[in-house]
Amino acid sequence: MKKSQREIMDSSRQITRRGLLLAGIQIGTVTTLALKMRSMQLDHAEEYRMLADGNSIKIRLLPPSRGLILDRTGIIIAGNEQNYRVTLTREEAGGDVEPVLRRLSQLIPMTEARIAELMEEFGRRSAITPIVLADRLSWEQFSAIAVNAPSLPGVTPESALSRAYPRAGDFAHVMGYVGPVSDYDLSRIEDPDPVLRLPDFQLGKIGVEGRMEEVLRGKAGARRVEVNSQGREMRQLSRQEGEQGATLQLTVDAALQNYAAQRMGEESAAAVVMDCQTGELISICSSPSFDPNKFVRGISSPEYRALMDHDHRPLADKTVQGVYPPGSTFKMVTLMAGLEAGVINAGTRYYCPGHTELGGRRFHCWRRGGHGMVDAIKSLEESCDVYYYELAQRVGIDRIAIMARKLGLGVRHDLPMSAVAVGIAPDREWKMARHGQNWQVGDSLNASIGQGFVLASPLQLAVMTARIASGREVRPQLVRSIDGVRQAVPDYPALDISEASLRVARLGMDAVMNSARGTARSSRITREDWRMAGKTGTSQVRNITAAERARGVISNDQLPWARRDHALFVAYAPYEAPKYAISLVVEHGGGGSTAAAPIARDILLFALNGGLPPLDAVPSEARAGLEARHEAMQLFQPEAPRPGRSRA
């Protein structure tokens, strides 16, 4: 049917409207796209450029060099050494790493067990993660791998720094050691430094290394690398080296520390030498020791088990962690408590028949026949126990505890070392809180001679001795400087103890060493300008029954080692102008005068002399033995001090 002219015109107008609508939509779309492209290219160009870079450019952290640790003369006691190692990336090896490992085993020792272990690790890790195959390679091994690199796809020889302890066991307990970062380490840190998550990164575990970790760690560097879609590095774009950790200088002297370790020998012992005026710890040595380098490099299970099972506990730091009944070295505390309370004076005398009766129980003096009439000074000189039994009943435990804390016992001293012990200076409140029991007078008698509940560390005993010698509230210091900036020495206040009371204690300690009846006369220093004042101590580790006393107390040398008494000794010198204080504990050593005093005297003489003790400084009967010991030693000979880096 033929359309009319009108229908044709209406149809044409309808098509035109649709075309215009469609054209409008198209124009709008194109305009919107153009505006969006303009916005992306101009207004948001930098944003999209950064996003694009983020997909192709990665930031790789560079571990910083760990700060050095020096002794007081500048000798390195913890440093970094070159470590040649080799890594393998599975993705770069084509996915099959076993043939590469087999070829590599022809260049460096790799057991079947090690290859199996590595294959298991490769299965757990990402294909683009480098795995350390071996470290601490010799230069020859490192060179051989580099030369054969074309036939070892994915293998990369690397040079890095690793922690090293040149003095090995001398400073093991002070320094501690570093080790791999564990999940436990990360859980203890609120906001872990990203560098801690790097493979094989190591941080301080114990000792100064652990306590000063943030100072020693330094700041990580970074390098920008271009990677492909599989994550493989294509090229390095930039590199910024990290900032080395601070150089830490300690107060300890490497030569004295070495001498102390060798002088204690195989004894289970601890020695602390402290500057009486500054509080600096010149030596703080626990014996026997261990090689911390083995923990850095990976200690074997048999080696670790041998350390754990050793009855002398080489892993324990006896200087600050070990607490012992101080025995008669505590008598200066009880004496000064009585003097300050006005209960006695220097001339007050008590009679010692060899024991004290209390509530049907007999408290014995170490001398079975007694000492007769004893005054304050003689009570120290001959170490009369009965004098202190009588004094304790008059002065009371609370005053004794207060005096102990004034002298540094029963308090924790702030040092960058692990598990610094508080010890125990007991009083009535302490016993009720700890044991839910009232204090008994018999407890006071035991405490008065450093037995019963009283416990002290060698560090605390050295602090006590330095305070008696100086009359000031000196506190132990271990860090001398950080990056060359000397740590301020505090202006220590005078002790809240009268000079008269301190003088009585000093006179008694002088008599111990230098009077005809002194308990440590055989270990005296014969040079008058180095005259030493000291006090012996013997602390029981077993109960002596009445039946045994009736038969005769079994001597220490007839007992198994673990049942022998601990031997203790504290001293300072020179007497008129105190410079150094020392404390020494020999676990299960027997008597303080025979086992501890000779060792402490020799160490103190080394400190005073700045080298081997001269033979004329000891009694003539001791010179041959001292000379023989020195000839058997292989002493550390310090090189010229090395200057430390400073930011000051």
Q: Tell me: the pLDDT tens digits for 436-475?
A: 999 999 999 999 999 999 999 999 999 999 999 999 999 9
Q: Is the peptide bond before 574 cis (omega within 30 degrees of 0)?
A: yes
338 lies in some domain: yes
Q: Are residues 381 and 273 in the same domain?
A: yes
Whether 514 maps to a domain, the answer reads yes
* 288 has pLDDT over 70: yes
Establish if 309 belongs to a structural domain.
Answer: no
Q: CATH code at 504?
A: 3.40.710.10
Do 201 and 340 sit in the same domain of this protein? no
| Residue 443: partners with Cβ closer than 8 Å, 6 or more residues away | 397, 426, 431, 452, 453
Copy the structure tokens of residue 191: 């906001």
Joined tokens for residue 566? 């601990």
In a domain, 507, yes or no: yes
Percent of the chain with pLDDT over 90: 60
The pLDDT of residue 563 is above 90? no
Which of 211, 228, 250 is the C-terminal boundary of a domain?
250
Within 8 A by CB and 6+ apart from 259, the residues are 603, 606, 612, 633, 635, 636
Question: Of the ranges 9-23, 79-93, 427-441, which one carries the lowest mean pLDDT score?
Answer: 9-23
Rounded-to-integer distance, Cα 309 and Cα 33, Å: 78
136-150, 254-268, 305-319, 631-645: least confident range? 631-645
Q: Is 341 exposed, middle or buried (0-12, 13-18, 19+ CB in 10 A)?
A: middle
Q: Pick the last residue of a domain from 250, 276, 292.
A: 250
pTM of the predicted structure, to 2 decimals: 0.84
Mean pLDDT over the full length of the chain: 88
Let me know whether 274 and 198 are in one domain: no
Tokens of 33: 């796209």
> What integer pLDDT is reported at residue 648 of this predicted model?
39
Residues 189 and 266 in one domain: no
Q: What is the mean pLDDT of residues 282-307?
A: 92
Whether the predicted pLDDT of 618 surpasses 90 = yes
Residues 367 and 502 in one domain: yes
Between these two residues, 410 and 234, which has the higher pLDDT value? 410
pLDDT at 499 over 80: yes
Asked if pLDDT for residue 221 goes beyond 90, the answer is: no
Same domain as 505, residue 380? yes
* Assigned domain for 235 exists: yes
Same domain, 202 and 322: no
For residue 82, being part of any structural domain is answered with: yes
pLDDT(539) > 60: yes
Per-residue pLDDT tens digits for 149-158: 778 888 878 7
| 489 within some domain | yes
pLDDT confidence of residue 447: 97
More confident residue, 118 or 233: 118
Mean pLDDT of 170-177: 95
Q: Tell me, what's the pLDDT at 333?
A: 98
| pLDDT tens string 194-204 | 888 776 788 89
What are the beta bridge partners of residue 538? 567
One domain, residues 192 and 273: no
Q: Is residue 146 scored above 90 in pLDDT?
A: no
Q: Which two tokens stand for residue 96?
A: 């099959």
Least confident of 27-31, 176-180, 366-370: 27-31
Question: What's the CA gap between 409 and 131, in Å, rounded?
Answer: 51
Q: What is the mean pLDDT of residues 228-237?
A: 62
Helix (H, G, I), strand (E, B) or coil at 119: helix
From the list 66, 103, 67, the residue with the least C-alpha distance to 86 is 103
Same domain for 188 and 283, yes or no, is no
Q: What are phi and psi of 236, to 5 degrees?
A: -95, 130
**How many whole angstroms separate alpha carbon 171 and alpha carbon 261?**
9
Q: Does one domain contain both 229 and 327?
A: no
> What confidence score (pLDDT) does residue 643 get?
45
Q: From residue 64, give the alpha-carbon distance in Å to each of 106, 209, 248, 320, 471.
A: 33, 15, 16, 31, 45
Q: Which residue has the higher pLDDT, 564 or 398?
A: 398
Average pLDDT for 306-314:
94
**Same domain for 89 and 141:** yes
Encode pLDDT of 577-617 as tens digits. 999 999 999 999 988 999 999 999 999 999 999 999 999 99
* Least confidently predicted of 205-219, 274-288, 503-517: 205-219
Q: How much is the pLDDT for 229? A: 58
Is 240 part of a structural domain of the chain?
Answer: yes
Answer yes or no: is pLDDT of 50 > 50: no
Q: Round to whole Å and give the CA distance between 313 and 317.
A: 9
pLDDT computed for residue 647 by the predictor:
45
Mean pLDDT value of segment 624-631? 95
The count of structural domains within the chain is 2
**CATH for 178:** 3.90.1310.10
Its domain, for residue 119, covers: 59-250
Neighbours of 345 (CB within 10 A): 13
Within this chain, do residues 228 and 273 fall inside the same structural domain, yes or no?
Answer: no
